[in-house]
Amino acid sequence: MTEKLQAIKQLGRQEAEMIVSEGLTERKPGSLVHLLFGNTPSPQSTSIKFGKVGETLAKKMVDLAEDPQLLGCGCRDIGGGVTKDFDLLYTGSDTIFYRELKGNLELDTEKLPAMITKINKDILPYLTREYPGKTIDIGVLYWSVYERSDLGSHCATHIRKCEEKGIKVDHMSDFMETINFEWEKDDFYSYFLSLGQLFNSQ
């Protein structure tokens, strides 16, 4: 295992342990799941919290890579008093890469169009103005999936809707190829399963 990959794995474990130490949100009375299983951890809440870990790891991977350079992520004023959250922004040679990070692309009917609008109507024009002469490469990093072939058909519609609007959907293998970072597929999945055991132990 390379030192870079070791650093990413340590960071991911630290982030997961922090989420667990802060306490997992439990399901509340008022649902059939609570009625059947009681005060069990809410998978939705855990997914939301862990989604931020994906952003942290992706930024660190870019930071550790040799060629690309991490640019200012987080909230930016894009003009007119409008602020937008930039999940992952980095540059390589003459290209500016923007990726909206998603651990789950099964968004509801309102969230998917809102994400597409944010990327095409807000992020893309801002980056075009901010980095004149650069190629702007926009997309979604569906980071919980190593490569497209690992997916069934359940996300195909959402991916197609993004790509029809000019927004590419990358997976971890695509992202790692862009930044020249190596992480084998089997090890990637087994690592995150090991983090999942931290949550299951609660």
Closest CA to 123 of 174, 75, 164, 159: 75
The contacts of residue 148 (CB under 8 Å, 6+ apart) are 171
Report the C-alpha dihedral over residues 50, 52, 54, 56, rounded to 10 degrees. -130
- 100 - beta bridge partners? 140
What is the spatial distance between Cα 190 and Cα 15, in angstroms, rounded to a whole number?
A: 17
In the prediction, which pLDDT does 32 show? 75
What is the spatial distance between Cα 174 and Cα 88, in angstroms, rounded to a whole number?
A: 15
| Backbone φ, ψ for residue 37 (5° rounding) | -120, -5
Instruction: Tell the burial category of 87 from Cβ atoms under 10 Å away from its Cβ (0-12, 13-18, 19+).
Output: buried
In the prediction, which pLDDT does 121 show? 95
In the prediction, which pLDDT does 84 show? 94
Closest CA to 116 of 140, 134, 137, 135: 140
Tell me the per-residue pLDDT of 107-128, one tens digit each, with 9 for 90 and over. Answer: 666 788 999 999 999 999 999 9
CA distances from 25 to 19, 40, 193, 198 (A): 10, 8, 20, 14
Spans in the chain with pLDDT lower than 50: none
3-state class of 134 per DSSP? coil
Q: Does this model's pTM top 0.85?
A: yes
In the prediction, which pLDDT does 201 show? 60
DSSP symbol at 26: B
In the prediction, which pLDDT does 24 show? 72
Q: Which two tokens stand for residue 188?
A: 């990637």
Tell me the per-residue pLDDT of 138-160, one tens digit each, with 9 for 90 and over. Answer: 999 999 999 999 987 777 888 99
